[in-house]
Amino acid sequence: MTKKNYTLKEIAQLAEVSRGTVDRVLHKRGRVSEEAQKRVEKILKEIDYKPNLFAKSLKTHKNYTICALIPEDSEGEYWQQCAKGVQKAEEELRQFGISISYVRYVSTLKEFKTKLTEAIEQIPDAFLIVPIFHEPLKDLYRKAEDLKKPIALINSEVESLEPVTFLGQAYKKSGKIAAQLMGYLTPPQQDKQLLVMHLGIKSGHASHLTEKEDGFRSYFAAHHPYVTIKTISSTSIEDFVDTDFDLSHIAGIYVTTSKIHQLEGILKKHPHIQAIGYDLTAKNTTCLKNGTVKMLLNQNPELQGHQGITSLSELLLYSKSIPKRNLLRVDIVVAENLDEFS
């Protein structure tokens, strides 16, 4: 039951060699006679040797730097929350020699490229990246792979590039969850009409949004096929307001981005519309509190940042293998449990 933790010294005694020899066998540094090699390996097989991490870290006390490339954002907003999680992880891991180099960028392609280059030039021991743009990353990949620096990606996967770990959500399922909740919120009726809105998307990299839509639609197709679902994409809510879209028959709106707060005015005019959106930003939580938005799905950016750093740290410190994809839970948030998420 209680496994003993053997030390190098004990193994050396058992194999009747010196500490140095055992060490050489373990680290495959050669200079060991066949006979000694065999004896040590035999002992090593019998016992499950695990080096004492305390002693190891104490000795090799390396200071690892992880470069975190995260979009600039204002206090309380999505990426700021993510950065907060990174900071929290940094505090916890500081004593283990982990430090973070923060590189924030405003969301333009040019800036992203500049900052990415900047990040690479720092030659950190690992990267944590929120890839709003995908093209420039391929360059990093080539360089990082040459240097064997691990990369963690947050929020969106980049096609054809394999990060060490990906932190994000199961987006299709996220859509299904939203759909079930929407089903509960809206009264059952034959001609129910719903709206899926991709609000405020900038670039073409929005596959995770369409995945959410797929999930949303597939739920209703399976459970309530009579429901009509329309989709609207628009960078700005103004484009939408200008059209004479008739909202009187719409029972609910599902916004796949964090911009549901832009609908506040519309929802006030049409209180019968049930609205579900994403993310606990300041503006969104206001809507949740005043009842214009019924539910928000929290994608846990803080946890994403936190886990990204801890995963990379475990890799650096203990060479611990980490999961390829770390799909985090989506929290269902209503007004009454909002304060549990602060």
Partner DNA sequence: TTCAACTGTGTTCACGAGCACACATTACAA
Partner DNA sequence: TTGTAATGTGTGCTCGTGAACACAGTTGAA
Contact residues toward DNA (CB under 7 A) are: 7-9, 17-21, 23-24, 26-27, 30-33, 35-36, 51-52, 55-56, 58-61
Q: Which is nearer to its own copies, 138 or 289 (CB)?
A: 289
Beta sheet of 250-255, edge-to-edge order: 228-234, 193-199, 250-255, 274-278, 295-298, 331-333
In the complex, the smallest distance separating the C-beta of residue 314 from DNA, rounded to whole angstroms, is 15
Q: Quick one: what does residue 45 bind among its own copies, DNA, none, with the CB cut-off 5 to 8 Å set by partner type?
A: none
The partner residues of 231 in beta bridges, in order of sequence, read: 196
Please name the amino acid found at residue 229.
Answer: I
Q: Quick one: what does residue 176 bind among DNA, its own copies, none, with the CB cut-off 5 to 8 Å set by partner type?
A: its own copies
In the complex, the smallest distance separating the C-beta of residue 53 from its own copies, rounded to whole angstroms, is 5
Phi, psi of 268 (to 5 degrees): -65, -35
Q: Which is nearer to DNA, 77 or 125 (CB)?
A: 125
In the complex, the smallest distance separating the C-beta of residue 149 from DNA, rounded to whole angstroms, is 18
Q: Quick one: what does residue 47 bind among its own copies, DNA, none, with the CB cut-off 5 to 8 Å set by partner type?
A: none
Q: Quick one: what does residue 60 bind among its own copies, DNA, none, with the CB cut-off 5 to 8 Å set by partner type?
A: DNA
Q: Quick one: what does residue 23 bind among DNA, its own copies, none, with the CB cut-off 5 to 8 Å set by partner type?
A: DNA
In the complex, the smallest distance separating the C-beta of residue 265 from its own copies, rounded to whole angstroms, is 23
Q: Which is nearer to its own copies, 52 or 290 (CB)?
A: 52
- Measure the CA–CA gap between 268 and 205, rounded to whole angstroms: 31
Q: Which is nearer to DNA, 3 or 61 (CB)?
A: 61
Binding site for its own copies (CB under 8 A): 2-3, 5, 50, 52-55, 57-58, 61, 94-97, 99, 173, 176-177, 179-181, 184-185, 187, 219, 294, 329-337, 340-341
Q: Which is nearer to DNA, 36 or 140 (CB)?
A: 36
Q: Which is nearer to DNA, 93 or 303 (CB)?
A: 93
Sequence-ordered strand ranges (E) for the chain: 64-71, 98-105, 126-129, 151-154, 165-168, 193-199, 228-234, 250-255, 274-278, 295-298, 325-327, 331-333
Q: Quick one: what does residue 3 bind among DNA, its own copies, none, with the CB cut-off 5 to 8 Å set by partner type?
A: its own copies
Going by C-alpha positions, the residue among 155, 149, 104 that lies closest to residue 134 is: 155
Instruction: Name residues whose C-beta falls within 8 Å of residue 53's C-beta, 6 or more positions apart in sequence.
Output: 317, 318
- Concatenated DSSP letters for 283-326? HHHHHHHHTSS-EEEE--HHHHHHHHHHHHHHHHHH-----SEE
Going by C-alpha positions, the residue among 150, 105, 114 that lies closest to residue 132 is: 105
Q: Which two tokens stand for residue 304?
A: 């994403």
